[in-house]
Amino acid sequence: MGPSLCDPQSLIKDLNPQQMEAVKYYGQALLIGAGAGSGKTRVLTRRIAWLLAHGFWASSILAITFTNKAAAEMRERLAALVGPEAEHMWISTFHSACVRILRRDGKEIGLTSGFSIYDTADCERLVKLISGDLNIDTKRYTPRMLLGKISDCKNSLTSWQDQLKSVNCDYKPGQRGYQVSAGDVDELVAVVYAEYQHRLSMANAVDFDDLIMRTVELFQRCPQVSEYYRHKFRYVFVDEYQDTNHAQYVLVRELSGIDSGEQPDPQMRGAGHVGPSWITVVGDSDQSIYAFRGADIRNIQDFEQDFPNAKTIMLEQNYRSTQTILDAANAVIAKNENRKPKKLWTALGEGDKIVGYAADNAQQEAGWIANEIARIHEEEGIAYRDIAIMYRANAQSRSLEEAMINANLPYQLVGGTKFYERREIKDALAYLQAIVNPADNVNVRRILNVPKRGLGVRAEGLIASYADAHDTTFFGAIEHM
Give Cα separations from 315 to 67, 266, 279 (angstroms).
22, 27, 18
β-strands 61-65, 235-238: how paired?
parallel
Backbone angles phi, psi at 284, to 5 degrees: -150, 115
Element (H, E) at 403: helix 397-406
* Sign of the dihedral defined by the CA atoms of residues 120, 123, 129, 130, in that order: negative
**DSSP codes joined into one string, 331-373:** HHHTT-TTPPP---EESS---PPP-----SSHHHHHHHHHHHH
418-465 pLDDT, tens digit per residue, is 677 788 999 999 999 999 999 999 999 999 999 999 998 899 999 999
- Residue 411 φ/ψ, nearest 5 degrees: -155, 160
Give 90's strand partners. Answer: 62
Q: What is the largest CA-CA distance in the chain?
A: 75
Q: What is the pLDDT of residue 260?
A: 74
- φ, ψ of residue 106 to 5 degrees: the values are -60, -20
Question: What is the tens place of the pLDDT at every residue in 375-409?
Answer: 999 999 999 999 999 998 888 889 999 999 999 99
Whether 310 and 29 have beta carbons less than 8 Å apart is answered as yes
Alpha helices in 203-279 (DSSP H): 208-221, 223-232, 246-256
| Predicted local distance difference test score (pLDDT) of residue 81 | 93
Write down the pLDDT at residue 235. 96
- Strand locations in 110-154, DSSP E? 116-118
pLDDT at residue 3, rounded to an integer: 43
Residue 428's DSSP bridge partners are: none
Q: What pLDDT does residue 2 have?
A: 44
Among 207, 199, 184, 208, CA closest to 132? 199
The H or E element that residue 425 is part of is helix 423-436
pLDDT of residue 416: 66
| pLDDT for residue 1 | 44
Query: 207: which strand partners?
Result: 118
Cα three-residue angle 77-81-85, rounded to 5 degrees: 95
Residues of the chain with pLDDT under 50: 1-4, 270-272
